Amino acid sequence: MCGIFSYVGKKEALPILVDGLSSLEYRGYDSSGVYVVGSNCVKSVGAVENLRKKLDGKENTFSGTSGIAHLRWATHGEPTEKNAHPHSDCSGKFWVVHNGIIENYKELKEHLISLGHIFKSDTDTEVVPHLLEEHFKRENDFEKAVKQTLKDIKGTYGLVIAFKDEKNKIITCRMGAPVVVGVGVGEMFVASDPSPILRHTRQVIYLRDGEIATLTPENYNICSLDSTPIARDPEMIEWEVDQIKKDGYDHFMMKEIMEASDVIKNTTRGRLIPENGLVKLGGLEIVADKLKDINRIIIVGCGTAYYSGVVGEYMIEEYTGIPVEVEVGSEFRYRKPLIDKNTMLLAISQSGETADTLEAIREAKRKGALAIGIVNTVGSTIARETDAGIYNHAGPEIGVASTKAFISQITALAMLTVFLGRQREMSMVTGKRICEEIISLPEKMEKILSQKEEIKKLAEKYSIYRDFLYLGRKYNYAIAYEGALKLKEVSYIHAEGCGAGEMKHGPLAMIDENFPTLAIAPSDSVYEKMISNIQEIKARKGKVLAIATDGDERIKELADDVIYIPKTLEMLTPILSVIPLQLFAYYMAVSKGLNVDRPRNLAKSVTVE
């Protein structure tokens, strides 16, 4: 979950390193630090801006053309300056930045202390440079010392290592935490994801577990832990540099919400064949025959991805007849799931690096399941380890709170529903109707987004409240939970999602004049039931902000406030109903003066348990 950025080349490294960290701040911001090889190290608690302030006027003391940098999201050790990365050994020759967890660090630390090593931090990471120092005494070789160190440690890591005596070389390695190598002209880069590399080069190599890359300004060499050479050509990143800029918006979150209509177009481009009621998913062609024999689907995701999976469960079961279960990724491998060769595991992850979801894939494959992924990051671990999959093509999502990726995931699930349905008994007419309605969604989204100023006023009106209940049924059941999650993530306001049918089984006890409800009540098959729920809340003096379908005048008589969305197929209403909830959460946070792109205690990609 931490952010790593490193450089080796011919330019002054410091400004490149600090700018790289700025592009990674959504990955962690408890503390940050930079080491310029053979020169100097600086660390700071908090955001990168604090690091810049410490460097102001001192840049000339950091001369050098290679270095490593880090943004920390604390796991072992409090977010203090002494625990900030980079960490060094006793001699100050070996420097390390790390994303992951060293599981056996206590035993290693005790052993190293017995050998006379002095530790300066409370982190698990610090054992790595001390191990390097110890192995170098015997090997007298930088690369060999790294390999011996990696054999000692257990856990997950994305590591970048610098050696003071070899200023034109850095070594990076991976086990369970993402590492991307950027290949430039006379310069190389390392990062936790492609976003900070894009401004320098679009040629990247995604390291795989157990691989070690040695980088110099002119070359890279990849090998395994046993020194077996690995040939790997760079891939081209499809994102444009402009996609990771705010484009005049105050926050990435707002920019990404406003991109919703483009996200639908990009996710569906070249995939819908409405005249025949078909969907073409190139990433599934190699397993198309196997999919015909699937008789059970398990969807796995974490957080927002889990909620998109719940929407997908309703879609797939209703239109394909295949039984579907949705599992929280962090719990899946601790059960004993019943899986056979006719089971499909569908893993959903924006980053493609979510640790728990990845382990669920591995467990399912061990038991013979077909593993399919819906991911947004080309070359990610989940993209590689699944048997086939669907890329979202939503573009980079920088805001920690997922918005456009969620919309893309549900769209991908709708297309998968048509794909699987048409393999079975779905008629061409039904397939055609769904495809045509998906095509119409961008225009309908623009209509909702045009109401953002009205939604802003509603957020300001409701910002006085500290508790919220979100209600939804059927397709919008998961949207109630997702809407509540967004409010919690960015505004730190207590919010509970609830299936509306469960309201009388407990949550109704909370309702009074100070506990408002956001009720998702489009004109669908469960509309009358939602109306009954709203009436029950109003009878207890609860305030109601409703999401309703255009033209619904009846709901005005019940709800205190209404946000309207256009009519669409019931299965697609979540794609529209979630947008006002995203905007509401955004404006609630802004009204409190919070940084919505970097909510406290959270990071974008959860790559450790």
Catalytic site positions: 2, 604
Cα–Cα distance for residue pair 54/48, rounded to 1 Å: 10
DSSP letter for 86, please.
P
- Token duo for residue 535: 């009436």
Integer CA distances (angstroms), 149 to 101, 134, 223, 248, 419, in order: 15, 9, 15, 46, 48
Contacts of 278 (CB under 8 A, 6+ apart): 418, 419, 422, 431, 435
SS3 444: helix
Among 158, 242, 159, 160, smallest CA distance to 198 is for: 242
Residue type, 387: D
**Antiparallel, parallel or unpaired: β 188-191 and 180-183:** antiparallel
In degrees, to the nearest 5, what angle opens at C-alpha 71 toward C-alphas 68 and 74?
A: 130
- Cα radius of gyration (the chain): 25
Contacts of 248 (CB under 8 A, 6+ apart): none
Asked if 119 and 113 count as a contact pair (C-beta separation under 8 A), the reply is yes
Residue type, 119: F
Cα–Cα distance for residue pair 190/172, rounded to 1 Å: 8
DSSP states of 10-78 as a string?
Answer: SS-HHHHHHHHHHHTGGG--SEEEEEETTTEEEEEESSHHHHHHHHTTTGGG---SEEEEEEE--SSS-
- Token duo for residue 493: 């306001």
Among 347, 380, 390, 392, smallest CA distance to 365 is for: 347
Among 273, 231, 306, smallest CA distance to 477 is for: 306
Q: Cβ of 448: how many Cβ atoms within 10 Å?
A: 24
- Token duo for residue 298: 């398990």
Asked if 488 and 320 count as a contact pair (C-beta separation under 8 A), the reply is no
Contacts of 606 (CB under 8 A, 6+ apart): 1, 302, 303, 354, 355, 356
Cα–Cα distance for residue pair 567/527, rounded to 1 Å: 13
Asked if 472 and 465 count as a contact pair (C-beta separation under 8 A), the reply is no
Among 81, 39, 78, smallest CA distance to 60 is for: 39
Sign of CA dihedral 431, 435, 438, 443: negative
Cα–Cα distance for residue pair 210/519, rounded to 1 Å: 49
- Token duo for residue 20: 């790289």
Compute the residue count for the chain: 609
